[in-house]
Amino acid sequence: MKSIHKFMSDSLALRKENNSLRTLKAESSLLDFCSNDYLGFARSNNLKLLFESELKKHPNYNMGSGGSRLLAGNSTFAEELEQEIANFHHSEAALLFNSGYDANIGIFSSITQRGDTIITDEYIHASIIDGVRLSHATRYVFKHNDLESLEQKLKVSKGKIFIVVESIYSMDGDQAPLIDLSHLAKQYDAALIVDEAHATGVFGELGRGLVYDLGLCDQVFARIITFGKALGTHGAAILGTEQLRSFLINFSRSFIYTTAASFLSHLAIKCAYQQLKNSDYQSPLKERIKCFRESISADINLLNSQSAIQIILIPGNKEAREAALNIQNAGFDVRAILSPTVAQGTERIRICLHNHNSIADIQRLSHNLNDIIK
């Protein structure tokens, strides 16, 4: 036991020394420039009212699902919700997962065999890396959004080949060049998989995603969409063919060996989609993104991003943390993203914009950023 305690205390001490110790913070009273609640759905009174009125139609609901989807946990409600989600995103089928993390673990650990190749962008989300680690495939990494670097990897790839990208990168906010990627995938007979966690609800007509917006639904082998960000609820789905859905039901361990989400979770997702279809929530967000970018001064290292995720590079854990603290002291909840979450030298402040941020608040935040970060 002594050696375990020593391992833990040494690891934590090292984190402290590097200024990278993670701690949990309870909810904050600062203005939200941090959450993934891009459309304000998680705090939407209208959505709560819709949920409560829909719930009244199901007085006999169970609190829990009672088991995995393959045993006692399935329902007509979940299957109908999947079809509704598939239709909305112009996909043949959808399969629900309990989170985006589970969805990525589930698809990448099951879809490959020894001898296959998964090629990922270097900035890909940790859940994809973990899914690939659970597979027997060879993993190659290509330089961020660099098609030449990808093609070099494609030329030496063996077996079934998968190219994996995020349509909007979670730590940079920029877009993958999806059209070019789909051409390369076709040329090398590779399957393109796109994680749309940060594009769902934000891009495309009514928030159908960037893959839909670019007319690539039929070119993409699978899309991962999540409900914990713009949809304001929790959970995820993998979009693809009926064959892929059936494959995942049979082989994806994070789908098979876990208790299905409850009826309440599924109802919340259904209501969030209902709300999404009712109005154009994307234009007000676009207006806020434009306003923020226009009001940041030119000498600040603001990365190029048309998404709700805006990044200011402030190299150094100590420097990024101090800058974030100063902005927080001015009343704005922004967070520093430190190494090892991002590469050393690319530490940053990550600012998330939302429909519940007023234009005046965004301008005040920009003025503070302009003053504090020089």
Binding site for ligand PLP (CB under 6 A): 99-101, 104, 125, 127, 166, 170, 195, 197, 226, 228, 236
CA distance 140 to 188: 15
Cβ-count burial of 52 within 10 angstroms (0-12 exposed, 13-18 middle, 19+ buried)?
A: exposed
For ligand PLP, the closer CB: 195 or 333: 195
For ligand PLP, the closer CB: 197 or 261: 197
Q: How far is CA 41 from the centre of its chain?
A: 16
CB of 92 to ligand PLP, least distance (A): 22
CB of 371 to ligand PLP, least distance (A): 30
CB of 78 to ligand PLP, least distance (A): 17
For ligand PLP, the closer CB: 228 or 316: 228
For ligand PLP, the closer CB: 40 or 100: 100
CB of 102 to ligand PLP, least distance (A): 7
CB of 104 to ligand PLP, least distance (A): 6
Instruction: Name the residue number minimizing CB distance to ligand PLP.
Output: 100
CB of 127 to ligand PLP, least distance (A): 5
Instruction: Single out the residue of 234, 298, 310 nearest to residue 265, CA to CA.
Output: 234
For ligand PLP, the closer CB: 248 or 369: 248
CB of 253 to ligand PLP, least distance (A): 16
Q: How many CB atoms lie within 10 A of CB 340?
A: 10
For ligand PLP, the closer CB: 38 or 101: 101
CA distance 112 to 163: 12
Instruction: Single out the residue of 203, 252, 254, 195 nearest to residue 220, CA to CA.
Output: 195
For ligand PLP, the closer CB: 108 or 281: 108
Cβ-count burial of 114 within 10 angstroms (0-12 exposed, 13-18 middle, 19+ buried)?
A: exposed
Cβ atoms of 245 and 94 within 8 Å: the answer is yes
For ligand PLP, the closer CB: 208 or 223: 223
CB of 227 to ligand PLP, least distance (A): 7
